[in-house]
Amino acid sequence: MKDGEINCYQFSGFSTSSNNITSSSNNEIFVKGDGTVYGNYKPKNVYYLITVKNDFRFNFYPGNSFPPYISLVYNTSPVCGDIAGQLLQVNNTYAWGPLANYVPQEFYAKAGTCYEVTYQYLCQLPIGNYTIEKNWIISSQNVSYISLLTRPAGYNVTYESNDTCEFYNTIGGLFNVSSPLLITVYEKIEYGGYQNGQ
């Protein structure tokens, strides 16, 4: 058993020599005090931890979540790292991703389950104050926004069991739950968004 693994067992044939413990069926016992319970068990299901996080520091431009020639001058809300609200749609049904900044989503899924990313939701960054500098070849310009728009830059699935990493640059791609998984969703911030006063 490893971190991020839950093993479920099926019990049967309970017995005890204590008057404090009674068995009413193969899967139910009542405990009134000390004693020992004997029985048989067999593995039934295994569940693995799935952790989903966002990353606005994509390695095309290390340390910067903005496109080339764009730099951040001022911000009141986060623009880098694990920012909430950028979700993956999985199997045309589920929405995975963090709901709070810097807090990855964690849940367990049954071993052997296959998933496919079918859509990537892209939300505007939270309402706040952002000033970015557009550094053109012959001039630069500061522009203020109340929200910035994002675009997808791919995602990867890292398996703990053998440290393999599968990268997908678009939606699609199947992955199977065979060990604890880390899914990292990469986004980039577009040039702008909604300007102050608009």
pLDDT tens-place string over residues 26-53: 667 788 888 888 888 888 999 999 999 9
Burial of 114 (0-12, 13-18, 19+ CB in 10 A): exposed
Higher pLDDT, residue 122 or 158: 158
Question: Is the pLDDT score of 64 beyond 70?
Answer: no
Instruction: Please give the model's pTM, rounded to 2 decimal places.
Output: 0.77
Indicate if the pLDDT at residue 58 is higher than 50: no
pLDDT value for 26: 66
pLDDT of 7 reads 93
What's the pLDDT tens digit per position in 110-123? 999 999 988 887 66
Going from N- to C-terminal start, the domains of the chain cover 5-46, 49-195
Residue 73 has pLDDT above 70, yes or no: yes
pLDDT value of position 59: 47
